[in-house]
């Protein structure tokens, strides 16, 4: 079973993502801020991280910077979640090391598609192995 870490300071956002992921075969680990996200990533070694950019304690850009500096976490896909849809923000996130960028409000179908893409077994095509 794959593990997905959901890091978002909003309880409502985490609950929504949990509901969206309920149909997927994955274990969900949650973090309320960036510092907690870094700790839980080190502990759980998730297969995917859904990371809110604007979080307390340590913001998402600082988290991705730390992850991309550490060889243990280089291969973990990290998806930026944000309510900010300002011009250039997506490009900035991808340049910082995020693998994908999703704006809030989150569309369930889009999130599921990204999750499936990142959790698909290596070498598998879009429809499975």
Q: What is the pLDDT of residues 53-105, one digit of tens each?
A: 999 999 999 999 999 999 999 999 999 999 877 788 999 999 999 999 999 99
pLDDT in tens, 33-47: 999 999 999 999 999
Residue 19 inside a domain? The answer is yes
Residue 115: exposed, middle, or buried by beta-carbon count in 10 A (0-12, 13-18, 19+)?
buried
**What is the average pLDDT value for the chain, to the nearest integer?**
91
Residue 38 inside a domain? The answer is yes
Residue 34 inside a domain? The answer is yes
Print the domain residue range for 75: 2-119
**What is the pLDDT averaged over residues 19-34?**
94
Does the pLDDT of residue 126 top 70, yes or no?
Answer: no
Start-to-end CA distance of the chain, whole Å, equals 16
**What CATH number does residue 48 fall under?**
3.40.50.2300
Residue 63 inside a domain? The answer is yes
Residue 110 inside a domain? The answer is yes
Residue 28 inside a domain? The answer is yes
pTM of the full predicted structure? Answer: 0.91
Number of domains in the chain: 1
């Amino acid at each position: 079973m794959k593990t997905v870490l959901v890091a978002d300071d909003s309880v409502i956002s985490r609950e929504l993502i949990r509901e969206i992921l309920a149909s997927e075969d994955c274990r969900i680990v949650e973090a309320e801020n960036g510092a907690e996200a870094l700790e839980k990533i080190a502990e759980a070694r998730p297969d995917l991280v859904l990371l809110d950019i604007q979080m307390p304690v340590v913001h998402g850009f600082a988290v991705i910077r730390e992850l991309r500096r550490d060889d243990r976490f280089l291969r973990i896909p990290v998806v930026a979640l944000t309510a900010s849809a300002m011009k250039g923000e997506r490009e900035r996130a991808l340049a910082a090391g995020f693998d994908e960028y999703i704006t809030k409000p989150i569309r369930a179908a889009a999130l599921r598609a990204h999750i499936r893409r990142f959790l698909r077994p290596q070498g598998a095509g879009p429809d499975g192995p």
